[in-house]
Structure 1
Amino acid sequence: MTTSTSGPRRRDAAGTRRLLLDAAQHRFARNGYTATTVRDIADDAGVNVALISRYFTSKEGLFEACLLGAVDELGRTVTEDVTLDQVPHTIAAQLAGPHTGQFPNRLLLLLRSSGDERADRIRLDILQSFSERLAAAAGLRAGDPDREELVLRAQVTLAASFGIALLRASTALEPLSSAGRDDLLGPLQDLVGGLLRRP
């Protein structure tokens, strides 16, 4: 008779990696990069700390992986071919969709400096790229004389969207906290239209 080597202590690689990413995302967002230790993350995930080195090489590598997860999230919010009329719908869907629990943590990661130059460069590049996508949805093209103003307006839109997500996650401010997708859509259409629509 053979005995199974699988059991509650054994996890598949993808599952363990996901546990570590979720735990790290929460810790980095809440405590910041410097105050978070790899042991904190491993303990939160319920795995051996050595697995961080196995799957992510280092704390910096894990932080970078969390940032890339935030990139994917934002990439789904505003794709390169999105139109300006679609932007409020996609932002509202992210703010009030089924996965909103992780969304504020991903946003906080993009707002926190890590102290690691490479990770911070990635973070700033992500925010810049997303701002330019929003500006492109508003009609920004190569050589546009209004480029700086359009990118600034896109960054203000981005900042307002982040603020909405963070307030919804961290306060019981009503009716914002419990507003659904349809409730948010009207104000977001006014916000995006007022900031990004060219005359």
Structure 2
Amino acid sequence: MTAEPPVPATSNTAGEPAQRRRRDAAETRQLLLDAARQRFARDGYAATTVRDIADDAGVNVALISRYFTSKEGLFEACLRAAGDELRRTTGQTPADRVPEAIARHIADLGAAGLSSQLSLLLRSSGDAGADEIRRGVLVRSSEQLAAARGWRPGEPDSEQLLLRAQMALAAGIGVAVLRSSIRLEPLSSATEQDLVGPLRDLVDALLPPR
């Protein structure tokens, strides 16, 4: 196995503080994540190569192995970021504010279309391992949404409540797709305030407050 090249120094100052080197490593890692997210969302997992990602990020391809172990590890990191986006929208919001959080997230997409994170969650990768990672992200997000309305694993009706949470999550994603990609009117032009009422009706119908 070929040894990975060292990370090039980014400062002309001898004895550069470790804090600066760590910051540069974090910036490089973020460059790779941003480039990978765009590539995976646009071209799919199977068609994207680590060379493509490294070239887009402007870094040495060996750094993908250093920071993420493999292409699959980088894909998982991208999906984890997409899961964080969903959790900010649903799982980390008080139960009575979930419709507002979903409406705000959908409205923020605006004319820019679907975020690359959401596109990444929706696009089939053509790779069984990658699809399993994606499924896990969506499962955890729906469990967090269900938990906001009182779901606990193993309790009576827990499976039914989780089903309803998955339906609410699917509905929210569907609204985002119709609004941003298909440009369906009047949905596409609806403001955050326009969206809140119908989304509250939808979420409350599927996941009645307890």
Pick from 63, 71, 74: which aligns with 1:59? 71
Paired residues in the alignment total 190
- For the pair 1:155 / 2:166, whether they are aligned, the reply is yes
1:111-162, CA deviations, whole angstroms, 9 ceiling, x for partnerless residues?
Answer: 3346253x44432222122212222223323543322221111111111111
Partner of 1:94: 105
Q: How many Å apart are 1:88 and its aligned residue?
A: 0.3
Partner of 1:181: 192
Tell me how far apart the structure 1 counterparts of residues 111 and 78 of structure 2 sit (CA, whole Å).
Answer: 16
Q: How many Å apart are 1:18 and its aligned residue?
A: 1.6
C-alpha distance 173-103 of structure 1, shift in aligned 2 (>3 A): closer
Tell me how far apart the structure 2 counterparts of residues 67 and 77 of structure 1 sit (CA, whole Å).
Answer: 15
Stretches of structure 1 lacking an aligned partner (at least 5 in a row): none
Pick from 2, 5, 15: which aligns with 2:12? 5
User: RMSD in angstroms over aligned alpha carbons?
Assistant: 2.9
Partner of 1:28: 40
Partner of 1:19: 31
Identity in percent: 61
Give TM-score scaled by structure 1 length. Answer: 0.80
Stretches of structure 2 lacking an aligned partner (at least 5 in a row): 1-10, 14-22
C-alpha distance 198-18 of structure 1, shift in aligned 2 (>3 A): closer
1:79-122, CA deviations, whole angstroms, 9 ceiling, x for partnerless residues?
Answer: 36721x211011112222389969632123223346253x4443
Partner of 1:45: 57
Give TM-score scaled by structure 2 length. Answer: 0.76
C-alpha distance 178-42 of structure 1, shift in aligned 2 (>3 A): farther
Q: In the alignment, is the contact (CA less than 8 A) between 2:93 and 2:101 conserved in 1?
A: no
Tell me how far apart the structure 2 counterparts of residues 168 and 81 of structure 1 sit (CA, whole Å).
Answer: 23
What is the DSSP-based 3-state SS (H/G/I as helix, E as strand, rest coil) of the residue aligned with 2:115?
A: helix
Tell me how far apart the structure 2 counterparts of residues 160 and 54 of structure 1 sit (CA, whole Å).
Answer: 39
